[in-house]
Amino acid sequence: MNRYIEENIHTFQDKNRNRARLLIKCPDQPGIVAAVSQFLYAHGANIIESDQYTMDPIGGEFFIRIEFECEGLKEKAWQLEKDFLSVAGTFNMDWKITYVREMKNMAVFVSSQPHCLLELLWEWQRGDLMANIAVVISNHENARDLVESFDIPFYHIPANKNIREQVEEKQQQLLQDYGIDVIVLARYMQILTPTFVEAYHNRIINIHHSFLPAFVGAKPYERAYERGVKMIGATSHYVTNDLDEGPIIEQDISRVDHRDDVEDMKKVGQSVERSVLARAVKWHLDDRIIVHENKTIVF
């Protein structure tokens, strides 16, 4: 890792040494916000940011994201989580506290097209994507020089549907070795097995080169061209065992017309893919996403 990136990380961690995020989902009822606010106040925390959403005001689900500062947070963290159990139990909460200075370890999977990987590396280099990109894994060799120029380990593991389980065994070993928290599929053109997906539930982010639910699966640009669409898009979503049907995090589109052939659409679409994936990854790293059934609430 070069010195500039290291300085960005150290500055970020020092600035956020006393900052944490609390994410909650639970059945809606009166008193939730008051109870959580009072709890944080009693533990010396100052709320910096708070966003909430109620899916249905009558008997619906409640979601909230709170970012707070608390002096001496590292020493208080264990007691804070222990004490919050009583509040969580009262309201039947599904909750987690994350500590901002503890940056997530990220693995990037890529195949032969590097444009989404490049976008992530540029964002990371600028200090706009705050994670530790610990490893890049590919079934092609062509991104090696690019990745290693950022001092990031690169592993080439050839893959196809006939050796999928053997490939994933090697991949999972690397993910364990590097302590990976989140996996980004930056145009990784292989289907993952149910066992692999379950091991990283809601922690695998994919970019699909189509505005889902249109053109699920392979060759969406070719099918979009044949259909004569007037706009093309990209979708970033969490991976599930249903192909390209996981909870959607972010989408965007760009207009095309009858003058554009398949290659023109791919060029336009790749720009959309890059930005959509980068935003989705940042939101995940910033703990802005709560998954509910097959939807996401993005604060």
165 plus 280 within the same structural domain: yes
Number of domains in the chain: 2
Q: What is the pLDDT of residue 212?
A: 85
109 plus 125 within the same structural domain: yes
Q: What is the pLDDT of residue 19?
A: 98
Task: Tell whether 12 is covered by a domain.
Answer: no
109 plus 94 within the same structural domain: no
Radius of gyration for the alpha carbons in the chain, expressed in angstroms and rounded: 21
CATH label of the domain that carries residue 76? 3.30.70.260
CA distance 102 to 20: 10
Q: What is the pLDDT of residue 172?
A: 97
| Domain span holding position 25 | 17-99
Q: Is 287 a catalytic residue?
A: no
Half-sphere exposure of 254 (CA within 13 A, CB side): 17
CA distance 36 to 90: 11
114 plus 44 within the same structural domain: no
49 plus 121 within the same structural domain: no
171 plus 219 within the same structural domain: yes
Q: What is the pLDDT of residue 217?
A: 84
271 plus 133 within the same structural domain: yes
Out of 99, 124, 146, a domain closes at 99
Q: What is the pLDDT of residue 1?
A: 66
Q: What is the pLDDT of residue 8?
A: 86
76 plus 139 within the same structural domain: no
Out of 65, 99, 133, a domain closes at 99
Question: Angle at which helices 73-91 and 32-42 pack, to 10 degrees?
Answer: 150
Task: Tell whether 284 is covered by a domain.
Answer: yes
pTM: 0.94
171 plus 260 within the same structural domain: yes
CA distance 107 to 120: 11
Residue showing tokens 């259909």: 227
Sign of the C-alpha dihedral computed for residues 279, 282, 142 and 187 taken in this order: negative
Contact 35, 87 (CB under 8 A): yes
Half-sphere exposure of 134 (CA within 13 A, CB side): 15
Cis amide leading into 57 (omega within 30): no
174 plus 56 within the same structural domain: no
Low-confidence ranges of the chain (pLDDT < 70): 1
Q: What is the pLDDT of residue 12?
A: 94
Out of 82, 99, 116, a domain closes at 99
Which is the catalytic residue, given 28, 181, 244, 260? 244
Task: Tell whether 77 is covered by a domain.
Answer: yes
93 plus 187 within the same structural domain: no
Residue 201 neighbours by CB distance under 10 Å: 11
